Chains A and B, each alone.
Chain A
């Protein structure tokens, strides 16, 4: 089946197998490999994207459910070739070890700061609770979110 969606503001079309996920469409059919494929069951948050403005695991969105909808991936966060301030903060704070969880955490942190400009540590913890870092680099990830928030 054919679906039409907007990814990072750009209209896209893809021929998909009806049972596949939005994550598969993004990575394998549309050339957006930023969202990572790890658990495929919504446990790790590595595939986090904004779907109609809401933070979701793209592995749990059926491709057909994205037909006619808007998706923002980690590739679409920056503007004019510049990194988003959350991405800059992750670099500055060294909040990256192996890097596999980073795109999902960046998208989740962007979503947090869009709703809460100056979160406290409990709020950061709850907002990032759906994202796992297998290197357990959470301390620097928290530093990065605080840095981006300016708190």
Chain B
């Protein structure tokens, strides 16, 4: 059976030009795997780990690109690349996302990888996810049945699992523009081309501390506390994590590093 699943020629590519067409194709072929920048999907194909019946190439859907600002919220298209998230003026509106984007891969990866792809892959290590969580992200998804919006913490349901129905596509994500101070920190063996051993985003806004960590639990998760608890906050963040031992680090190291990152992030944001 396994041979059958990896037979060459089983893949078809669907390239819609509009979101409407994309949703129709996804509805007709629910097994079609959406591909935008390809930085995750192509690795699966190149290594023969996946042979989906079809690929839904979203590169030509203009409605998924770019970003816009309305009523204090910023809407990011699912096709927004990490390189675009680093550009002025978006980088000033969402500085932690811009910092996180700069730690993703190298220039080649940042030119192709997208925020929507990070959401779709839903890795516990997804670099865009902690900054989005502290920014109160809501994920906009759509299908031929209509649109719905769900908070990011409800969208991320497990390691590499999200709440999308089989006929749904990620359209974008909306966040509250950074009214306060925020930052992002990541631990890895080098500054580029690494999956986070552990990562942390912090936002300080309206007397509240919001931290979200990556690679320290089954999903990136949010920790909140009043500003007055800043001194115990690193301990609270470390305690909220549920890391595991794996090839990139031990659970004990991750918890320790999270405590240190939270302290450094507070130093940056409260300075």
User: Is the CB of A56 closer than 8 A to any CB of chain B?
Assistant: yes
A65 touches B108 (CB 8 A): no
Contacts of B11 in A (CB 8 A): 17-19
- Stretch among B41-49, B215-223, B239-247, B250-258 lining the A interface: B41-49
A45 partner, pick from B15, B35, B59, B106, beta carbons under 8 A: B106
A67 to B55, alpha carbons, bound, how many Å? Answer: 15
* Residues in A neighbouring B47, C-beta threshold 8 A: 40-41
Known: A17-B11, A42-B39, A43-B193. A130 touches B55 (CB 8 A): no
Task: Judge whether A17 and B9 touch: CB under 8 Å.
Answer: yes
Q: Which residues in window 38-62 of B have CB below 8 A to A?
A: 38-39, 41-43, 45-47, 51, 55, 57, 59
Answer whether A18 and B55 are a contact pair too, CB < 8 Å, given A40-B47, A67-B15: yes
Q: Encode A130-146 as 1/0 by CB contact (under 8 A) with B.
A: 11000000000000000
Residue A62 is within 8 A (CB to CB) of chain B in the complex: yes
Q: Are B192 and A65 in contact (CB under 8 A)?
A: no
* Chain A contact patch, size range: 20 to 34
B contact residues, total (Cβ < 8 Å): 31
Interface of chain A residues 105 through 127 with chain B (CB within 8 A): 108, 111, 126-127
Among the interface residues A43, A57, A61, which one has the most CB atoms of the partner chain B within 10 A? A57
Distance in Å: Cβ of B42 to nearest Cβ of chain A: 4
B12 at the interface (CB under 8 A from A): yes
- C-alpha spacing A61/B42, complex, angstroms: 7
Which of A40, A41, A42, A57 has the most chain B CB atoms closer than 10 A to its own CB?
A42
Q: Nearest Cβ distance between residue B6 and chain A, in whole angstroms? A: 10
Cβ–Cβ contact B39 & A130, under 8 A: no
B192 lies within 8 A of A56 (CB): no
* Contact across chains for B105 and A130 when beta carbons are under 8 A apart: yes
Contact of A131 among B8, B39, B83, B106 (CB under 8 A): B106
Listed residue (A18, A55, A128) with the most chain B CB atoms within 10 angstroms of its CB = A18
Task: Give the CA-CA distance A20 to B184 in the complex, in Å.
Answer: 36
Question: What separation, in Å, do the CA atoms of A147 and B83 have in the docked complex?
Answer: 27
Given known pairs A21-B46, A61-B38, A61-B42, the reply for A55 and B57 (CB within 8 Å) is no
Is A62's CB under 8 angstroms from B46's CB? no
Tell me whether B107 is interfacial, beta carbon within 8 Å: yes
| Given A126-B192, A127-B107, A131-B106, A60:B12 Cβ within 8 A | no
Whether A55 contacts B107 by the Cβ 8 Å rule is yes
Query: B191 within 8 Å of A by Cβ?
Result: yes
- CB of B46 within 8 A of CB of A41, answer yes
In the complex with contacts A45-B108, A56-B112, A64-B15, A129-B193 CB distance below 8 A: yes
Is B13 located at the chain interface by the 8 A CB criterion? yes
Contacts of B42 in A (CB 8 A): 21, 42, 59-62
The 10 A-B residue pairs with the shortest CB-CB distance, nearest first, are A130-B106, A129-B192, A19-B11, A64-B13, A40-B46, A60-B42, A18-B11, A41-B43, A129-B106, A130-B108
Using a CB–CB distance below 8 Å, which chain A residues touch chain B?
1, 17-19, 21, 40-43, 45, 48, 54-57, 59-62, 64-65, 67, 108, 111, 126-131
- Chain B residues within 8 Å of A, Cβ to Cβ: 8-9, 11-13, 15, 35, 37-39, 41-43, 45-47, 51, 55, 57, 59, 83, 105-109, 111-112, 191-193
12 contacts between A and B (CB under 8 A): A1-B13, A18-B12, A19-B45, A40-B46, A41-B47, A55-B108, A59-B46, A62-B35, A64-B13, A129-B107, A129-B193, A130-B192
